[in-house]
Structure 1
Amino acid sequence: MEWNTLLSTRRMRGSASGARVKSTDLRSEFEKDYHRIIGSASFRRLQDKTQVFPLDKSDFIRTRLTHSLEVSSFAKSLGQNIGENIITHKRDPGFTPQMKEDICHILQCAGLIHDIGNPPFGHFGEDAIREWFTRHLSTLTFFDRSVEEMLTPQMREDFYHFEGNAQALRLVTKLHYLVDENGMNLTYALLNTIVKYPVPSTGIDKNTGNIKDKKMGYYYADQQIYEEIAADTGTTGIRHPLTYILEAADDLAYKTADIEDAFVKGFISYYDLERELEQLQETYPDSNFNALEKLHTYYERGKQKQSGSPESYAVKNWIVRVQGYLISCATFGFTSNYESIMNGTFKKDIFFGTFGEQLMELLGDMAYRYVFSSTAIYKMEVTEAVILDFLMNKLVHAVLYYDTDAKLNSIDSRVISFISDNYKNAYKYQAEGKSEAEKLYLRLLLVTDYICGMTDSYAKRLYQEMNGLV
């Protein structure tokens, strides 16, 4: 892969044909992407979507919006570090200072939109939607025909493996109606960067050992867009190099933030963290970063400063110190594997093989053991499942015969009216000239499009209103 191709400024809709007026806009194409994203309603909705704790009343706990801003910041920092390393050590004679600036802007934008397609209630929302299709798709009928049998294997697998990453590509290219059917009309370099898994739902294979094959990166409905983007950037079937950096920024952000949020919510104490780091230090005594020692240093500093809570002072400052260290690890991981990343053969994430790998694993494991498997979170998730199951039941039943010759009953017609005209217009545009099976597939996607566009509060409120609870 070559950076000249990878940093494609092409968009689905180019500038006005034949325009010869000299532009006074001095922004690069990637800086323009940033302003399109920041000004979008889809981005604003992230302020009311769960990161870990749904509908939390604390102004400290992170939402999808604050998480995305953190990922954006980390991704840009990594881009600066890695770009400078490539130039300083002459790893690529074709890499220029302008390219360094461009990758920083692309990564900054990618951080903002990497979760933009996620449904309400965090990653559990994705699980709930996948599980709904696993339970119900085989039972659905359309004019006495099995819906499951009408759909092609890839169409079926799209629902069984429903994925927020694939939804992000769909949202920014088709559903966010700005000027026309091209969504936000972002640059191909940026769109390619957010495709973490460059395979269709039928190409998922967790046994290859290659991180790119773990999940699907695009729906059948959006395959043509993906193929056009990949062909233009020269990444067909492989990851864009910047995707590794975006993924590292995402992992770094949520694994450190989950610990901090869990500490503030009382799921993890200073002494829990101390004990876990003691075990890490015993297991990996040769690490060049003594995380336990750093925690103790900040605790003593908190006492010297007469902090109201030296434990809180220590944990929060420790998190910041760890983030800086992990940025260095990710920088090393990318630059030391530069050749294999650029030829599309690198199979791991860029923390793999670095001193930060074990620390990252510990942070993720702690979040699972102390938070995600707790009774409090399980109770929240049971409530969320009830809401999403109800909405899926009502919406799928309503869309089955929408846009057909069949007459909808009074309830289904009203449920259809709830769906945004933007989503319905996108469906009609995409369904034009398609077979009956493809239209049915797109109507099922219309449901997931609508639900993924919901905030946590909207999903809860719609459920309550439809059940007469308000």
Structure 2
Amino acid sequence: MNWEQLLSTKRNRGGSGKNRYVRNTDLRSEFEKDYHRIIGSASFRRLQDKTQVFPLDKSDFIRTRLTHSLEVSSFAKSLGQNIGENILVYKKDPSFTPRMKEDICSILQCAGLIHDIGNPPFGHFGEDTIREWFQKNLPVMEYHGTPIDTILTPQMREDFYHFEGNAQALRLVSKLHFLVDENGMNLTYALLSTIIKYPVSSLEMNSKSGDIKDRKMGYYFADQEIFEDISKETGTNGKRHPLTFILEAADDIAYKTADIEDAFVKGFLSYHKLLEELTELQELYFRGGGGGFQPADKLTELYLRAKEMHVENPEEYAIKNWIVRVQGFVINCATYGFTSNYQAIMQGTYVHDLFYQTFAERLMNLLGDLAFREVFTSEPIYRMEVTEATMLDFLLDKFMTAIIKYDDKTQKLDSIDERMVSFISSNYKKAYHYHARGKSEIERLYLRILLVTDYVCGMTDSYAKRLYQELKAIV
């Protein structure tokens, strides 16, 4: 892979990807234009009412998908600056220019904003619920008397059984977010390639392969054509775009540190529990190493400083300031992870994340595991998730029943089905009709089922809850 091709400015509508540096009266780069398209979009604004960890939380402090995406965007840009400068200073690539460094920072900034834009309401549990709904219902749903799971092709069927917010993000920005026409936001291919974390189909994914790019599905059968076009144009050819590793590291930094802070604020995690876990980690792995960063000692130091300053809540002061120190430390480690594996990443042969075999690896693992044990498996979260699953299951039941008969001249919608279909966004229905034109009956059925997941994924947490309550006549 080479940077000239990887930084392609081609768009699905217009733009050849060439003459990137030819200027007119608009002095913005193509990637800066992407940024303005994203922040002005309704899909991006909806992230303010989508769950990060705590659904429908009334606290203004707790993070949403919007604040999380802003943090990822910031970390991704910082990593891009560090890594770009390292490539230039140490002459790792003769073809890499200062302008390319600027471009990768702009791309990463944009990618951070939209990396979660396809996620359904209620966070990652919403994804699990949708997958499980299809696994339970597709085998028993019928189309003209035949089970749907036997009608669909294997890839179509597996798309639903392995539903992914990552694949939905590509679909949303490239087709569903209607601005001018059917090309969605019409973003640059360099940016679209960066957000494709898993460049494999639902038939190719393999969580046991050992290669990080194979863990999940990256695109739907419906979007295979644009995926292949992006892959060819950027020269990734089924490999991960190098900037995807940076985006993923930024995402990991953002959520693993934020989850600890949010867990403390919500009362799920105490200062003493965090110190106990960090002390054990430090004694096992950081003594004599750690790149000079001792996580337990740093937390204790900040706590003692707060006591000396007579801070009202020294534990809160220590944890919040410790997180800032950790973020700086792991950014440096991720920078090293990319630059020390530069050739393998550019050749498409690197199979790990950027923290692999760095000083940050065990610390990042601990933070993720601690949040899982103290927050995600707690009774309050389980209670919320059961409620969320009940709402999503009901909405999928109602919409899928109606959509199977929609746009089928041999079947008639009853009065309730007509009303359910009318609720679906006219833009999404317009996109369906455009892409269903000339397709086989089976593919049209597949696209109609996707139409429901498109609509559900576009819902905010509050809207999904409100619609459920209205349809259930809950006053």
In the superposition, the TM-score normalised over structure 2's length comes to 0.97
1:329 aligns with one of 322, 327, 333: 333
Task: Specify the SS of the correspondent of 1:139.
Answer: coil
Query: Greater CA deviation, 278-287 or 35-44?
Result: 278-287
- Residues 33-72 of structure 1 aligned to structure 2 (within 5 Å): 33-72=34-73
Counterpart code for 2:154? P
Spell out the pairing of 1:257-272 with structure 2 (5 A cutoff).
257-272=258-273
344, 366, 387: which one aligns with 1:362:
366
Residues 53-92 of structure 1: pairs in structure 2 closer than 5 A: 53-92=54-93
Q: Distance in 1 between matches of 2:344 and 2:470?
A: 54
- 1:410 alignment partner AA: S
**Count of residue correspondences:** 466
Instruction: Measure, in 1, the Cα distance between the counterparts of 2:339 and 2:2.
Output: 16
- 1:404 paired to 2:408: yes
- Which residue does the alignment assign to 2:207? 206
CA distance in 1, matches of 2:152, 2:118: 23
Report the equivalent of 1:316: 320
Equivalent residue letter for 1:465: E
Give me the whole-angstrom Cα distance separating, in 1, the residues matched to 2:463 and 2:470. Answer: 10
Aligned twin of 1:8: 8
State the Cα distance separating 1:287 from its structure 2 match. 2.4
Letter in 2 for 1:269: S
CA distance in 1, matches of 2:361, 2:309: 33
Q: 1:275 to 1:167 in 2, by over 3 A?
A: same
Residues of 2 paired with 1:256 and 1:15: CA distance? 39
Taking the aligned partners of 2:105 and 2:333, their CA distance within structure 1 comes to 18
- For 2:469, give the aligned amino acid: Q
Q: Which residue of 2 aligns with 1:282?
A: 283
- Secondary structure of the residue that 1:242 maps to in structure 2? helix
Aligned counterpart, 2:307: 303
Aligned to 2:196: 195
Of residues 420, 426, 438, the one that matches 2:425 is: 420
Partners in 2 of 1:264 and 1:87 — Cα distance?
Answer: 42
Q: Distance in 1 between matches of 2:238 and 2:136?
A: 31
Measured on the aligned residues, the alpha-carbon RMSD in Å equals: 1.1
Q: Is it true that 1:456 corresponds to 2:457 in the alignment?
A: no
Shift of 1:15: 5.4
Counterpart CA distance in 2 for 1:314 and 1:251 is 22
* Structure 2: 5+ residue stretches without partners: 17-21
Structure 1 residues 45-87: Cα deviation after superposition (integer angstroms, max 9, x where no partner): 0000000000000000000000000000000000000000000
Deviation of residue 306 (structure 1)?
A: 1.1
Q: Tell me, what secondary structure is at the counterpart of 2:203?
A: helix
Q: Partner amino acid for 1:338?
A: Y
Counting aligned pairs with the same residue, the percent is 70
Helix, strand or coil at the partner of 1:55: coil
1:429 aligns with 2:463: no
CA distance in 1, matches of 2:94, 2:444: 49
Structure 2 residue 467 is matched with structure 1 residue 466 = no
Distance 1:114 1:182 in 2: 18
Q: Any idea what SS the aligned residue of 1:138 has?
A: coil
Tell me which residue corresponds to 1:347.
Answer: 351
| Partner Cα separation in structure 2 for residue 134 and residue 369 of structure 1 | 27
Counterpart residue identity of residue 195, structure 1: I
Mapped to 2, the partners of 1:349 and 1:441 lie a distance apart of 34
Q: CA deviation at 1:22?
A: 8.2
Amino acid of the structure 1 residue aligned with 2:142: T
Counterparts of residues 146-295 of structure 1 (less than 5 Å): 146-284=147-285, 285=287, 286-288=289-291, 289-295=293-299
Give the partner amino acid of 2:437.
Answer: E
Shift of 1:237: 1.0
- Residue aligned with 2:354, SS: coil
1:102 is aligned to 103
Tell me, what secondary structure is at the counterpart of 2:52? coil
> Which residue does 2:19 correspond to in 1?
none
> What's the CA shift string for 1:140-186, capped at 9, x where partnerless?
11111221111000000000000000000000000000000000000
Q: Is the 8 A contact 2:9 2:15 kept in 1?
A: no
Amino acid at match of 2:28: R
Runs of at least 5 residues in structure 1 that lack an aligned partner in the other structure: none
Q: Distance in 1 between matches of 2:332 and 2:211?
A: 24
Instruction: Give 1:201 shift.
Output: 0.3
Q: Over residues 197-228 of structure 1, what are the superposed CA-to-partner deviations in whole Å (9 max), with x where a residue is unaligned?
A: 00000001112100000001000000000000
Check the 8 A contact 2:118/2:166 in 1, yes or no. Answer: yes
Residues of 1 paired with 2:175 and 2:65: CA distance? Answer: 21
Per-residue CA distance 1:259-293 (angstroms, 9 max, x = gap)? 00000000001001000001101221332320011
Inter-partner Cα distance in structure 2 for 1:303 and 1:423 = 56
Tell me which amino acid in the other structure corresponds to 1:399: I
Amino acid at match of 2:210: G
What residue number does 2:386 align with? 382
Amino acid in structure 2 at the alignment position of 1:449? D
Deviation of 1:23 after TM superposition, in Å, equals: 3.6
Question: Runs of at least 4 residues of structure 1 off by over 2 A?
Answer: 285-288
Partner SS state of residue 193, structure 1 = helix
**Partner letter of residue 123 of structure 1?**
H
Q: Distance in 1 between matches of 2:380 and 2:366?
A: 22
Q: Residues 62-113 of structure 1: CA distance to partner in whole angstroms, max 9, x if unpaired? A: 0000000000000000000000000000000000000000000000000000
Instruction: State the match for 1:29 in structure 2.
Output: 30
